[in-house]
Structure 1
Amino acid sequence: MTTGREHSESTRRRTLLKGAVVAAVPAATGLLGGSLAYSGSASAADTLPEYAPVPASSIGPALNAAGYHVGRIRGNLYWVTDAYYQAMFLTTREGVVLVDAPPTIGHNLLRAIDDVTQANDMPSKVTHLVYSHSHADHIGASAILGKDVVRIGHTETRRLLLLDRDPNRPVPTETFDHRYVLKVGGERLELAHHGPNHSPDNIFVYAPAQRTLMVVDVLYPGWVPFKNLAVSQDIPAWVKAHDVAMEYPWQTLVGGHLGRLGVRADGDIQRQYMADLDAAVRNASATLDPTPYFHKYGPSGNSWAIFKTYLDAVARQAAEPVVAKYTGTLAAADVFTVDNAFALLESQRIDGGLLGPFGVHP
């Protein structure tokens, strides 16, 4: 049962998220026909940076009055989004299989499932929950499903959640190391772990009958990757995961973030973005003169200032042509490309041994 306090908090959160979406893309989506009432001062908003408009092709379907969209992918496979996060679910004659439970969507997951199952006279109870990985922003609403649901995740997901001890993320009741085939009520999901990428435990979830792949925090349809290459823990493996994803014969991608589904062209363009960024970082590392940074901060012995100013300058120089190429094509190219260049630069230095002026020289 939901208490009055929980209902009030849930309503407040949905209102905030709906307002943020309306404020961000009112012309493109026409979501609610209203405007966001800010409680802060206008002067604070005036000091915030301006960014390039979000391309219309990067925006997903309009949300309903409750702040979510639920749509059919193919057959009995559906997806839910609040324009920030995504989940996927299969309806079956034995119950619902849900993949991820993002807290920003929260109880709207259950409302979306009810929308679909009631319309199709199918059981609405969630019997199985698949964890894509352990991160709270993707499975932090798991607890709302109760204790009876079968939770499935990678062995490493269980280990990490046992360490986190988060009551909102109960540990998986069934785990696997490499592959797991889930069959429920005539439907099938194929789970696979291809090694670490965004996180040590991030898995690929493939629905073969629906030609749909869900892999989270790797591909971002219509957008550049989130800050610092999705805050990934293994950058070389994360880059390799792009190729692994494209080896699946999918037609539809559920990426876990933002407001629309992906098509194969989205995977191609992100791989090209990463190739361009890699080339630009390598070029900037090879051509940017480090002398001014050593001359400025070396005499005072401020080593960290040398590192910061030089590495920041390399990232900015590398990002410039990439931002110019992808602005208007990928949303937020001007928001996160400098951060992504910095993350790739650090990976090239630490993982690839391309140390630039900080390497061994004659």
Structure 2
Amino acid sequence: MKVCIRRIQRSLGILIGSFVFCSLTIAQNAAVADEVLVKPIQVAPHTYFVQGRPEMGSSSNQNFISNAGFVVTPGGVVVVDALGSPVLAKKLIAEIRKVTNQKIVAVIVSHYHADHIYGLQEFKKIGATIYAQGEGRNYLSSETAKQRLIASRVDFAPWVNASTRLISADVWIDKTFNLKVGGVDFLISRVGPAHAPEDLMVYVPSEKVLFAGDLVFRGRIPFVGNADSKGWLLALDEIERLNPNIVIPGHGAYSTKPLEDIAFTRSYLKYLRESMAPAALNLDPFEAAYQSTDWSEYEGMPLFRAANRMNAYNVYLSIQAE
């Protein structure tokens, strides 16, 4: 009898301890939530953006590693990209409501990468129409998207969880689309395959602002992934031809000198291609080519260790496939 009582007491102790631990964890997560601020920066008379952190996505930063932006028009608010978790999207919606009483009517997805789309469900809940390029359907139906979401529910918990869903667009764009809201034109054009197969850029002529998505990176090493680096370089030429006053990149600070800042992304991509092309074309080992390349210009930048080797390897493979 005494043994049974001790076992019951021990079990109760474990349960109470577990409850206390969970309570502490929830409190700690709540504290983290308060520290991840989504604060709009005004870059033109009616245009704002929020700047993600130059980090890898994590639970502590709620996957706030990418930018999003919005334009206030007399007919409603148009948002570009939805951030990397539902909680971030809720914060962005709250901040938009501090700026204007106008309803959020549209969200344009620059491309279907996790850090730009996991917040879409929150905009869908409030009735916004979602626009994206048609190749995004291939991603949504892919095993890659499913597995990435499963992993994200662990990596970014509790902010990405079992309630987080992949959201399809309401309007799928082929090459170009002119969205007019409140008399303001949003010139949407496909520029992929580049960073992603479904890249879109959004130009607002009345504001002279271009939302470039992940075609432009500032202040950190770009993420090349499975990009078409040759197509990406051509996309940068298209951005230059538009000659916007301001470029809002997918990552990093907004640019008031687009030609100078586009040059960084272009020079990095060109350097990857120039460094990897001889080995790729001669079928020489990647590792030898990588080790013999001088990376000193880039190795002090944020995310160099996390992304550069992978970028180089993917470019090495893509050149072989061209």
- Give the structure-1-normalised TM-score: 0.64
Q: Distance in 2 between matches of 1:212 and 1:241?
A: 16
Deviations 1:292-315 (A, max 9, x none): xxxxxxxxxxxxxxxxxx311212
Partner of 1:45: none
Q: Is 1:69 equivalent to 2:69 in the alignment?
A: no
Map 1:235-254 → 2, pairs under 5 A: 235-254=229-248
Q: Distance in 2 between matches of 1:99 and 1:347?
A: 29
Contact 1:236 1:347 in 2 (8 A): no
Does 270-279 or 134-143 show the bigger shift?
A: 270-279
Q: Is 1:345 equivalent to 2:316 in the alignment?
A: yes
Q: Is 1:128 equivalent to 2:106 in the alignment?
A: yes
**From 216, 222, 225, the counterpart of 1:225:** 222
Q: Distance in 2 between matches of 1:80 and 1:160?
A: 25
Q: Distance in 1 between matches of 2:27 and 2:71?
A: 25
CA 140–284 in structure 1, closer or farther in 2 if over 3 Å, else same: same
Q: Distance in 2 between matches of 1:317 and 1:337?
A: 14
Partner of 2:270: 275
Q: Is 1:260 equivalent to 2:253 in the alignment?
A: yes
SS at match of 1:315: helix
Determine what percentage of the aligned residue pairs are the same residue. 24
RMSD over equivalenced CA pairs, Å: 3.2
Map 1:110-125 → 2, pairs under 5 A: 110-117=93-100, 122-123=101-102, 125=103
SS at match of 2:198: coil
Q: Distance in 1 between matches of 2:95 and 2:230?
A: 37
Q: Distance in 2 between matches of 1:182 and 1:279?
A: 39
Deviations 1:112-154 (A, max 9, x none): 212222xxxx42x211111212233211111112162211222
CA 282–154 in structure 1, closer or farther in 2 if over 3 Å, else same: closer
1:343 to partner: Cα distance:
2.0
Contact 2:209 2:248 in 1 (8 A): yes
Q: Distance in 2 between matches of 1:10 and 1:205?
A: 40
SS at match of 1:199: coil
Deviations 1:141-193 (A, max 9, x none): 11112162211222222454366688633322222211111111132211001
Q: Which letter does structure 2 place at the counterpart of 1:110? A: I
Q: Distance in 2 between matches of 1:69 and 1:286?
A: 47
Q: Is 1:153 equivalent to 2:132 in the alignment?
A: yes
Q: Is 1:81 equivalent to 2:51 in the alignment?
A: yes
1:266 to partner: Cα distance:
1.2
Contact 2:192 2:232 in 1 (8 A): no
Q: Distance in 2 between matches of 1:287 and 1:158?
A: 36
Q: Distance in 1 between matches of 2:27 and 2:119?
A: 12
SS at match of 2:165: coil
Q: Which letter does structure 2 place at the counterpart of 1:246? A: E
SS at match of 1:197: coil
SS at match of 1:113: helix
Contact 1:197 1:232 in 2 (8 A): no
Q: Distance in 2 between matches of 1:14 and 1:249?
A: 43
Contact 2:290 2:309 in 1 (8 A): yes
SS at match of 1:219: strand
Partner of 1:142: 120
Map 1:84-233 → 2, pairs under 5 A: 84-104=65-85, 105-117=88-100, 122-123=101-102, 125-145=103-123, 146=125, 148-158=127-137, 160-161=139-140, 168-226=165-223, 229=224, 231-233=225-227
CA 194–126 in structure 1, closer or farther in 2 if over 3 Å, else same: same
Contact 1:70 1:78 in 2 (8 A): yes
1:90 to partner: Cα distance:
0.9
1:331 to partner: Cα distance:
4.1
1:247 to partner: Cα distance:
2.4
Contact 1:154 1:203 in 2 (8 A): yes
Q: Distance in 1 between matches of 2:27 and 2:68?
A: 18
Q: Is 1:313 equivalent to 2:284 in the alignment?
A: no
**From 292, 296, 301, the counterpart of 1:324:** 296
Partner of 1:25: none
- Give the structure-2-normalised TM-score: 0.71
Contact 2:179 2:187 in 1 (8 A): yes
Q: Distance in 2 between matches of 1:159 and 1:277?
A: 27
Deviations 1:190-220 (A, max 9, x none): 1001342222211111111222221222221
SS at match of 1:250: coil
SS at match of 1:213: strand
Q: Which has the higher strand share?
A: 2
